[in-house]
Structure 1
Amino acid sequence: MTAPAATAPLRDDRRVVLVVAILASFVVGLDSSVVNVALPAIRRELGGGLVVQQWTVDAYLVTLGSLILVAGSLSDLFGRVRIIRWGLVVFGVASVVCAIAPTGEVLVVARAFQGVGGALVTPSALALIVAAFRGAAQAKAIGSWTAWSSAASILGPVVGGLIVDGIGWRWIFVVTAVPIAVTIPLVRRISGDVVTGDRPRVDVVGAVLAVVGVGGVVLGLIEQERLGWGAPVVVAALVLGAASLVAFVPWELRVTRTAGSPLVPLELFRARNFTVGNLATLSIYGALGMVFFVVTLFLQEVWGFPAWVAGLATLPPTLMLLALSTTVGSFSGRYGPRWFMAAGPAVAAVGALLMLLAGDDPAGYWWSVLPGLVLIGAGIATMVTPLTSAVLGSVPQAEAGAGSAVNNAVARIAGLVTVALAGVVLGGGVSVDGLHRAMVVMALLLAAGAVVSAVGIRNAPLRS
């Protein structure tokens, strides 16, 4: 693969690049955060119980998590700015369909298309920062991106809750049109881009294997709650999904040997920090995916919180992330990511265990859920920017799009699998005992991420 072109103009437009990366990620983050508080209202209007709630989340994550790998390749081949623009358009159209969906099935399909748009946006946004900034400035920029992108998660639950309680859940999907309308004109102001000199074919077979593999496993895990483990659809989905995932790595090796363009450049995993960082991501983001899904449902369906109150009640992690990410990014750029990545998940695991104190009384929020979420937020803020810097700092700049895509895909897939498993952990419905089981699972996953990071990550100078 030849060297990337037109990187200098991106560095000339660094402020615009950072704003575009933040706003583009804001769109994806806003949608994800508002949907959780709307799940009880969606179930009441469209029916389907916990299964529809799970699919409303996971239909989006399936396409986002699997196609984000394709988007990473497209980002490197055809330019990050162009791919971001396409992603924003797809996301906007799908959001309108979500807003007018007459049935749960239509909503789920539209959510899947939102995932396609999100897949196009996510790796390109971060890869633009990697192309425009270097060294400690890159770590600081990633910290700013993480912090300000998280503003979507602050606005989402509260504004989304107010919208759900006031004019209805459908309007939450209209909200995403605002950042899209602001971002597209800014994208046009970026004078440079990063593209590769050649245009190998996109790995279509690899993309199909990824989508079928991830989608099949998730389909089986969710539908078993409704049909049972022995149902032909469930068995077929799990077998087909597992077979596709098993076939994925040999296919990618074959594409690499034939000098093609693999969906996942497996040579990236020769870098220790890239491999270990993605293993940590798998464990940590799996835990986070479960906690936000379960806690939001618990607050509304067991404790009876209105949607907007539930949104406010789940804000502490995001506020901590916003307050600390830029500072942590600067320190990790100076001292290395290892111990930040080890300490963060360990602190978050303690927060998850604190929520075992929650019972039937909503007043317990103040001594169980609130302090638990504060510690989870502190742990996330300590870990997330160093993790991103460690993973992307270990790959060549020309492959930053693919590296970002792999890491984002791992994070999204981890979250969607734990959401798919939520029915098993919860016992088919939300309850106090179910919350406790979910928090134990979360604490174990976070502890595993802390151990993997402490043992595996190496502090190395950032690329200059």
Structure 2
Amino acid sequence: MSPTDETLAGSSRANSLASPGASAATQHWTPRLWGVLGVLCLVLFLDGLDVSMVGVALPSIGHELGLSATSLQWIVNGYVLGYGGLMMLGGRTADLLGRRRVFLIALAVFAAASLLGGLVDSGGLLIATRFIKGLAAAFTAPTALSILTTTFPEGPARNRALSVFSVFGASGYSSGLILGGLLTSVGWRWTFLIPVPLAVLALIAGYFLIPRDRPADTGGHDLAGAVTLSGGMLLAVYTVVSAPERGWTAPLTIGSIVLAAILLITFVIVEKRLEHPLVRLGILRVPTVVRANISIIALMGSYMSFQFVMTLYLQDGLGWSALRMALGLLPAGLVVAFGSPFMGRLINRYGTAPFLVASMTSLSLGYVWFLATAGTTPGYALTILPTMLLLGGGFGFGFSAIMAQATEGIDDSEQGLASGLVQTSGQVGAAFILAVVTAVTTGATAGDTDIGPFRPGVNVVTGVAIAGLLINLIPLLLGPRGNAPKPPTPNRQLVHH
């Protein structure tokens, strides 16, 4: 079934994007509807592209600006701090103020920060632009997903859109690794400047294509909730990304953990007492939503941490160039890019649960295979290539299914909240797991050709993936409710020809 075979019926949002004069039963996916999806995919592509390109360019940045390893770390962590710390607030803000408005403003800030980052000559200013870009992405990423889930009705149309969305996410990250290696050889500033025209293009297209929407009627604004949530999340993410350098038992680390916990507990207390809270905590009692959030932690946390270990080992240990490393890890991205387009159709037929199990199984097998075959020095054909293919399968099976499960059955007024929640889980969970992996691989040094010092980190990654598998496998074996594919509601029924 192709998108052109699907028709949208009875949805006012879809009607606004359909061709004029089409009846409710015969409205096909129009060029404008494809245009909206294209804008959202381009923004996700930019997120992946930016993160991976800058990571490859760090050594060149440090050399030109005279930055220490600690300062270079904050070029990455500054982005993570803004992105992970404010994403939940970003998603909910889109619900409350209007998705189109929040999306366009945040995208403009992202473009401006990218341009400034490519022009500055100060390490401090560069880190500041990275934080601003992370903050902007904290609003664009969940808002893009919530625009997708409210534009495409739950069921086949949304699943197809999510599968296309996943392709661009994986393609952006994979392309960034290669493009970052090529651009860095010309000049690291190009890794900051290249996203600017793409962001401007998305901004202009989004202005004309994304339909206007009404903010959710919440009966008021929860300022106390916004302050405690933002402060608590920012401090929690800051603690996670800075603890490996400072030490988990350092007084400042412990104090940050305690203060972050106080702020987040205060946030929960405030939300429970308000008639119109910023975040309805009842969403955390939906089993499928909870499993989706745990699954994204297992997926993103294990995959990003393993890639971090392999980057250190291949570049610092075996002396691979950035471009050679990118090409070596590329098969995982190719599997996602070529496999994800079929996921929408499969989810329509079988539901999300089987594919979450398949995802976690493929991830677990990939890490176990690496540990079993790596020996002292892993070979590419026997160890690294099969591992990357299995990890690509895990990501391909999992990402679309997780996003579909995290937002299915959620009212349109809370789609931004659900989107922000699952993406926050992925980013913050990945940062925490990466911090643990970094801590257990402290014995690894530049020039290590033996994989041995990196094995503890891979052990942690494997345990995370297996835990994700068990969490998804047990409910499936017990016959969980709500995981089977559900027919669309009557007012959004899809008619097939």
User: TM-score normalised to the size of structure 2?
Assistant: 0.84
Q: CA deviation at 1:360?
A: 6.5
Structure 1 residue 447 displacement after superposition: 1.2
- Residue 387 of structure 2, aligned match among 369, 372, 385: 372
SS of 2:320's equivalent? coil
- Do structure 1's residue 78 and structure 2's residue 97 form an aligned pair? yes
Q: Classify 1:462/1:64 alpha carbon distance in 2 versus 1 (closer, same or farther; 3 Å).
A: farther
Distance 1:416 1:58 in 2: 9
Task: Indicate the SS of the match to 2:118.
Answer: helix
Mapped partners of 1:44, 1:302: distance in 2: 20
Q: Calculate percent identity across the aligned residue pairs.
A: 26
Residue type of the alignment partner of 1:206: G
Correspondences of 1:38-437 after superposition (within 5 Å):
38-45=57-64, 46-49=66-69, 51-134=70-153, 135-164=155-184, 166-190=185-209, 192-196=211-215, 198=217, 200-254=219-273, 258-262=274-278, 264-356=279-371, 357-358=373-374, 361=377, 364-427=379-442, 429=444, 432-437=451-456
The residue type equivalent to 2:16 in the other structure is P
Aligned twin of 1:14:
33
Residue 428 to residue 41, structure 1, CA distance change in 2 (3 Å): farther
Answer yes or no: is the 8 Å Cα contact 2:299–2:360 preserved in 1: yes
- Which digits, 9 at most, give the CA deviation of each residue in 1:358-405, with x for residues without a partner? 4665x7233222221111001111111111111111311232111111
Letter in 2 for 1:9: S
Letter in 1 for 2:157: A
Q: Deviations over 1:313-366 (max 9, x none)?
A: 2212211111111212210111111111011111111112233344665x7233
- 1:139 Cα deviation after fit: 0.5
Whole-Å separation in 2 of the counterparts to 1:129 and 1:222: 31
C-alpha spacing 1:401/1:353, structure 2 compared with 1 (3 Å): same
**What is the rounded CA distance, in whole Å, between the counterparts of 2:346 and 2:393 in structure 1?**
15
Q: Secondary structure of 1:315's match?
A: helix
**Of 32-41 and 393-402, the range deviating more from structure 2:** 32-41
Q: Is the 8 A contact 1:5 1:195 kept in 2?
A: no
Q: How big is the alpha-carbon RMSD for the aligned residues of Structure 1 and Structure 2?
A: 2.5
C-alpha distance in 2 between matches for 1:220 and 1:67: 15
Greater C-alpha Rg: 2
Q: After superposition, what is the alpha-carbon deviation per residue over 1:42-75, rounded to whole angstroms, capped at 9, x for unaligned?
A: 44454332x4454332321222122121221221
Tell me how far 1:6 sits from its aligned partner. 5.6
Give the secondary structure class of the aligned counterpart of 1:189: helix
- TM-aligned CA distance change 1:312 to 1:219, over 3 Å: same
Distance 1:75 1:221, change over 3 A: closer
Q: Aligned in 2, Cα 1:192/1:220: closer, same or farther, shift over 3 Å? A: closer
Paired residue secondary structure (1:237): helix
Shift of 1:200: 4.9
Q: Within 2, Cα distance between the matches of 1:191 and 1:231? A: 48
SS in 1 for 2:410: coil
1:394-440 CA distances to partner (integer Å, 9 max, x unpaired)?
Answer: 31123211111111111111112223334312216555334322221
Deviates more, 1:143-152 or 1:440-449: 143-152
Cα distance change on mapping 1:452 and 1:225 into 2, 3 Å? closer
- In structure 1, the gaps of 5 or more residues are none
| Pair 1:174–1:344, CA change in 2 (3 A) | same
| Worse-superposed segment, 332-341 or 208-217 | 208-217
Distance 1:462 1:341, change over 3 A: farther
**Residue 414 and residue 202 in structure 1: after superposition, are their counterparts in 2 closer, same or farther (change >3 A)?**
farther
Q: Give TM-score scaled by structure 1 length.
A: 0.90
Contact 1:62 1:115 (C-alpha < 8 Å) held by counterparts: yes
Aligned to 1:198, the other structure's residue is in SS state coil
Shift of 1:218: 4.1
Between the aligned partners of 1:215 and 1:434, the Cα distance in structure 2 is: 32
Q: Is contact 1:79-1:195 (8 Å) kept?
A: yes
Give the direction of change, closer, same or farther, for the CA distance of 1:354–1:47 in structure 2 (3 Å limit): farther
Partners of 2:370 and 2:208 in 1: CA distance: 47
Give the direction of change, closer, same or farther, for the CA distance of 1:282–1:425 in structure 2 (3 Å limit). same
